[in-house]
Chain A
C-alpha cells in the first residue's frame, strides 16, 4: 500500500511538472526564431517585463517579436528579398527601438538614419532574419554618400516627412523599403499538398503540389493569417478571379497567378497550414549557383567607381570650417583609423561568409582602393 501511495504521488508530481513546463513553453521563443542571436532580441524581450510592471501582460513573446520587414526592393538590389527578409540588427546591435507610454516598442528611425549617415562611404553590416527556414545571415551593404549637386524628390507633406525621416539622408538611395512588423507574419503561408480536382481552378492555374506555398492574396488579404482565412476568401470570390502570390521552394521564386473560382467556391486542392507547413530552407542547386555566378558578374562594375567617388567627399568636407574642422579632423582621423582596422577584419570574415552563403559581395579590389 505504501508503494502504491508513493507511485501515485510521483505521478501527480510529474503531471504538475508537465503542466508547468507547458506554461513555460508558451513564454519561450519559437524554434523558428531561435536562429536570431539573443543579443539582438534583448531590447524587445525586456519590453514585456516593463509592460508587466505597468499592468499589461504579454503572455506570448512570439507574437510581439518584430523586425524591419522588407516590403519593397529595387531591381538593382539583389541582397534583400521582400516578404521574407527582416532586418533585426545593425553591426550586431539590435535595431534601436523606443517604447511608448503604453509599453509597446517601435523603431527609432532617426537613430537608424544617423547610423546610415555615419557609414557613408563605407559598408554597413545588416543582420537579416529570413522566413525561408528561419535562417539568420549578415548582409554588407555599401553606402554611397550623396553628391552635393544631386537633388532629391521632396514630398508636399512636410509635416509627415519630418517626423518620419528626421535627419536628412546624406547617402544615395539603397533600394529597399521597410516596415516594423511582427516576425510571426511570415508564417502565415498555405502549403499546396495535392490537386484533387482534375481541371479545377488550381490545376488550371498551374499550382504545383508539394512545391508551392500561397504567401499572399490580392493586396494582402492573408495578412492576419488563420487556418480558415484562405477558405473564406475563396468562397467569397466565387465566380470571380482571384490573384494569388505563390512561392515555389524548388525554384526559389515568387510568381503571381490568377485563379478563376468556380460557382462552388472551391480552389480544387488540399492546403496545409501551421507549424509543419512553413516555408523551408532554400536548397542551392547547380543551376541556381550558375545563375548567381552570372548575377555576381555585373556587381563589381559600378562598385569601384562608387568607392572612388566615396573617398573624395570626405576631403572636400574637411577644409571649409577651421575650428570645427580641427575637432572633426581629430574625431575623423581617430575613428577612421580604428574603423579601417576593424573593417579589414570584418571584410575578411564577410568574404568567408559570402563564399559559404554564396551571396553577392564586394570584390577584393574595392578593399585595396579604400585602403589606398
Chain B
C-alpha cells in the first residue's frame, strides 16, 4: 500500500509540473527564446562537464555558472506556479466548494516543490516526461470541458421542469376559481353533461359487446347444428354397418349350417362307399373281361373319390389282378392274322 501511495504521489507531482509548464507557455509566448537559451545553456553545461577533466581551473567556473542559471529557472518556475495555482483554485471553487480539495492541492504543491528540489540532476529525463504529460493534460482539459457543459444542460432541464409545474398548477387553480366565482350553474351542468356522456359511451360499449357476443353465439349455434347433423350421419352409417355385419353373420351361420350338412352327406356317402365295396366285389366276380362303359365309369368314379383324397385304394387295385385286356380289336403294329389256340 505504501508503494502504491508513493506511486500516486509521484504521478500527481508530475501532473502539476506539466500544468505549470503549460500555463507558462500560454502566458509567456515571448519567453520562448529564454527557454531556448536555457536549453543552450544546458548544452554548454554538458560540454563543460566534459572539459573539466582535461582542464582543472575552467571546470570549476562552469559549475558555478550552472548553479546560478538553475537558481534563476527555479525562481521563474515558482512564480509561474503561483499564478497557476490561483487560477486552478478559482475554477475548483466555482465547480466545487469542498475544503478537502484545497487541502489536497496544498499537499500536492508541497510534494512537487520537494521533488523539484530533490531532483536537479534529472531535468533532462523530466522534460521528456513533461511532453508526455502535456498530451495527457490536453485530454483532461477536454474531459473537464465536457464536465462543465453537462451541469449546464442539467440546470436547463431542471429549469424547464420547474417552469412546467407551476403553469399546470396555476391553470388548475384558475379554472377552479373562475368556475366557482363566475358561473356556478354552468359548472354543474357541465358536470352532469359529462356524466351523461360517460354513461352513454359506457352503454354504447356494452351494447357493442353484447351484439358481438350475440353474433358469436349465433355462429356457435350454427356450428353446433352442423356437428349435430354430422353426428347423426355417422350414427346412420354405423347403424348401416351394424346391419351389414348382422347380415354377414347370418350368411356365415347359413354357410356353416350348409357345410355341416355337406359333411353329413359326405359321411353318408363315405358310409355308402364302404358298404358298396362288397357289391363291387360281386361285380368283379361276375364281370367279363370286357367291361361295359357304365362299369368303367363307376370304377373311375370310385377312383375319383379316392384320388381327390390322394389315398391309394389297394383293395380296389388288387381286385383288378388277373384281369387281362382284350387287344384283338386294337390297332397294332403286328403283322399277320390273330391266331387262336
Contacts and interface: CB of A to CB of B under 8 A. Distances in A.
Given A204-B304, A258-B300, A216 B312 contact: no
A190 B327 CA distance: 18
Contact of B307 (A81, A204, A252, A255): A204
B327 to A, nearest CB: 4
B328 interface: yes
A338 interface: no
Interface string A59-97: 000000010110111010010011100000000000000
B326 A206 contact: no
B321 A83 contact: no
Contacts of B289: 72, 75
A71 B335 CA distance: 13
B324 interface: yes
Contacts of B297: 258
B325 A185 contact: no
A220 B331 contact: yes
Interface stretch (A38-46, A173-181, A272-280, A341-349): A173-181
Interface string B317-341: 1101111111111111111111111
Interface string B145-179: 00000000000000000000000000000000000
A248 B317 CA distance: 8
A69 B324 CA distance: 13
Contacts of B317: 248, 250-251, 253, 255
A199 B328 CA distance: 34
B299 A255 contact: yes
B338 A179 contact: yes
Nearest to B300: A258
Contacts of A104: 335
B175 to A, nearest CB: 114
A152 to B, nearest CB: 11
A223 B330 CA distance: 8
A106 interface: yes
Contacts of B333: 181-182, 185, 223-224
B188 to A, nearest CB: 113
B329 to A, nearest CB: 6
A258 B300 CA distance: 6
Contacts of A207: 307
Contact of B303 (A181, A257, A291): A257
A206 B300 contact: yes
- Report the interface size class on chain B: 35 or more
Contacts of A219: 329-331
B256 interface: no
Contacts of B321: 251-253, 288, 291
B57 interface: no
Interface residues of A, number: 61
Contacts of B324: 72-73, 81-83, 254
Contacts of B314: 250-251
B339 A206 contact: no
A252 B317 CA distance: 9
Interface string B281-317: 0000000010101001101100110111010101001
Contacts of B329: 219
A205 B303 contact: yes
Contacts of B293: 258
A294 B304 CA distance: 30
Contact of A179 (B300, B306, B308, B336): B336
A55 to B, nearest CB: 21
B104 to A, nearest CB: 121
Given A71-B328, A116-B341, A180 B334 contact: yes
Contact of A220 (B312, B318, B332, B341): B332
A223 B307 contact: no
Contact of B322 (A78, A199, A216, A221): A78
Contacts of B335: 104, 106, 179-181
A257 B299 contact: yes
Contacts of B310: 203
A299 B327 CA distance: 26
A82 B332 contact: no
Contacts of A69: 334
B290 to A, nearest CB: 10
A185 to B, nearest CB: 5
A310 to B, nearest CB: 17
Given A185-B334, A251-B318, A83 B327 contact: yes
A82 B327 contact: yes
A256 interface: yes
Contacts of B341: 116, 169, 173-174, 176-178
Given A73-B324, A204-B304, A177 B331 contact: no
A104 B336 CA distance: 12
Given A71-B327, A82-B324, A173 B340 contact: yes
Contacts of A107: 336
B336 A106 contact: yes
B300 A205 contact: yes
Nearest to A164: B337
B302 to A, nearest CB: 8
5 contacts: A69-B334, A71-B332, A251-B317, A255-B320, A259-B300
In the A-B complex, the 4 residue pairs with the closest CB atoms? A206-B303, A220-B330, A181-B334, A220-B331
